[in-house]
Amino acid sequence: MTALTQSVRSLWDSSIGKKTVVAVTGLVFIGFLVAHLIGNLLVFVGEEAFNHYAEWLHGLGHGAAVWVARLVLLGSLVLHVVATVSLTRQNRAARIAYAHEDTLRASKSSKIMIWSGLTVLAFIIFHILHFTVRTDAQLAKIAAESPYQMVIVGFQNWLVVIFYAISMTLLCSHLSHGFSSAFQTLGFSSSKTRSLLDKLGKAYSLLILVGFLSIPISIRIFGYGS
Ligand code: HEM
């Protein structure tokens, strides 16, 4: 074993090493969600703006940029899940004496992190099959003509909209705890900044919830785009 693989191994074996992996990969998603939201909100500017943006995105770096981003996102997702599962197992096995007291003090969002995380994971799989892979042949045909129309048609189904609403709510809960947790792990949180980071995390997750939900709700409930 080389010195490098040995130090990566011992970092991974330590709880702080895994927490750092969870924090860094979480921050990748926090950044991605802002960019994805801004792009998606172009739906409200109109069909031409949204389709122009989709075309521009897929043409970046002769099409390579999208694939680099996909690899980074997929790698981050896998590492985030594997490190979390391993940490949970490690914590359960340790059954530290003050765990009970900690659980009592923990917020609701921190207690349901594993469940909100698993729902978001299921959502991401569904969402990619829906809008990126386009397993629905009719939707794929529409997307080839206009990605904007794909989004409008994709949200005509109530079940899809309800699943999005549940997933976005749990995503908001996951981010609300994850945001400040990530910064805390990376050493940015002191007793002075902790409450500020908590507030920023709540504001960020609320923005993500309202921003993403505004799209299916405007389309399905208010008939936007039809
Ligand atoms: C109303 C909410 C959303 C809309 C309208 C939306 C729209 C889209 C569209 C149109 C694509 C296809 C991009 C393409 O292939 O050109 C896409 C891909 C994707 N979305 Fe979303 N999205 C929403 C929410 C989310 C959320 C909340 C997440 C993460 C939790 C997310 C994660 C992704 C990922 C990972 C991809 C795959 C990127 C790729 O490989 O192309 N999306 N989304």
Domain-embedded: residue 155: yes
Please report how the helices 137-145 and 147-154 are oriented relative to each other, as an axis angle in degrees rounded to 10: 140
User: Domain tally for the chain?
Assistant: 1
Alpha-carbon distance 202 to 205, whole Å? 5
- Ligand 1 centre from 128 Cα, in Å? 7
- Ligand 1 centre from 129 Cα, in Å? 10
* 131, 163, 219: residue to mutate for ligand 1 pocket, most atoms within 8 A of CB: 131
What is the average per-residue pLDDT within 178-189?
92
Tokens 């969870």 identify what position?
22
Q: 136-142: list long-range contacts, CB under 8 Å, 24+ apart.
A: none
Domain-embedded: residue 72: yes
Domain-embedded: residue 7: no
The residue whose CA has the least distance to atom 14 of ligand 1 is 132
- Residue 14: its pLDDT value, please? 87
What is the average per-residue pLDDT within 67-94?
92
* Interval 3-31: pLDDT, tens: 888 888 888 888 899 999 999 999 999 99
Query: How distant, in Å, are the alpha carbons of 56, 63, 74 from that of 175?
Result: 29, 30, 18
What is the average per-residue pLDDT within 141-169?
97
Q: Average per-residue pLDDT in the chain?
A: 92
Looking at the CA of residue 150, tell me the nearest atom of ligand 1: 10
Q: Which helix (H) or strand (E) holds 156?
A: none
Q: Is the pLDDT of residue 94 over 90?
A: no
125 lines ligand 1 (CB under 6 A): no
At residue 154's C-alpha, the angle toward residues 35 and 161, to 5°, is 80
* 30, 32, 33, 36: residue to mutate for ligand 1 pocket, most atoms within 8 A of CB: 36
Domain-embedded: residue 150: yes
Domain-embedded: residue 5: no
The residue whose CA has the least distance to atom 2 of ligand 1 is 212
- Residue 106: its pLDDT value, please? 64
54 lines ligand 1 (CB under 6 A): yes
Q: How confident is the model at residue 166 (pLDDT cuts 50, 70, 90)?
A: very high
Give the 3-state DSSP-derived string for 99-151, with helices as H, strands as E and coil as C: HHHHHHHCCHHHHCHHHHHHHHHHHHHHHHHHHHHCCCHHHHHHHHHCHHHHH
- Residue 104: its pLDDT value, please? 47
Contacts of 194 (CB under 8 A, 6+ apart): 180, 184
Q: How confident is the model at residue 111 (pLDDT cuts 50, 70, 90)?
A: confident
Alpha-carbon distance 120 to 215, whole Å? 18
Burial class (CB in 10 A: 0-12, 13-18, 19+), 214: middle
Q: Is the pLDDT of residue 168 over 90?
A: yes
Q: Which domain holds residue 60?
A: 15-94+108-220
Domain-embedded: residue 174: yes
